[in-house]
Amino acid sequence: MPDLSKYTKRLSEHFFNSDNILLISHINPDGDAIGSQLALYHYLISTGKKVTMISPNYLQEFLKWMDGSEHINIFIRQRERCRKLIENAGLIVMLDFNQPDRLGEMEDIVTGCRTTKIIIDHHLNPKGFADMEISDPTFCSTAELVHELITGMNKKPVSTKAYCEAIYVGIVTDTGNFEH
């Protein structure tokens, strides 16, 4: 397992110093994108943070059962509301993608805002459009990476049902039900 301590300290500082955190998944979000987003959401709200979430477009029906999915704002349905969430965010965390075009219609809005941006991802070759990139392709999913980062920051694993389900969905989705 890679040593993530070089990230957990800086990530903890960003979270500690931000009162209004926005989590963004990629266009056509899969289980890893939504699972990672919801796991981080559940962790951050448990620490007392104000957290909002945006997906560029609609969630697949099979993901809507997940606790917290009802709090994900859909950009193509709520453009003005989401634009304000982006503009007013104290910190933006983008999950499970490494290229700005995966933001869909939000690309120019997100990349153009001056808010500190962090990427947490497991894909190869991030495109360098964030202030902090945590990208490691040795992880099977972004959900696994999120879990390891949170465990490092929290000094122990989170074990709430909603958090564990979100991590599980992310890992199962990106491993093809543990087939690869």
Q: What is the pLDDT along the chain (180 residues), one digit of tens a residue?
A: 678 888 999 999 999 999 899 999 999 999 999 999 999 999 999 999 999 999 999 998 989 999 999 999 999 999 999 999 999 999 999 999 999 999 999 999 999 999 999 999 999 888 889 999 999 999 999 999 999 999 999 999 999 999 999 999 999 997 766 666
User: What is the CATH code for 5-174?
Assistant: 3.90.1640.10
* Partners of 52 in beta bridges: 22
Q: Is the Cβ–Cβ distance between 98 and 67 less than 8 Å?
A: no
User: Could you state, in order of their start, the residue ranges of all structural domains in the chain?
Assistant: 5-174
What DSSP string runs through 21-54?
EEEE--SS--HHHHHHHHHHHHHHHHTT-EEEEE
* Contact partners, residue 177, CB within 8 Å, separation at least 6: none
Rg over CA atoms, the chain: 15
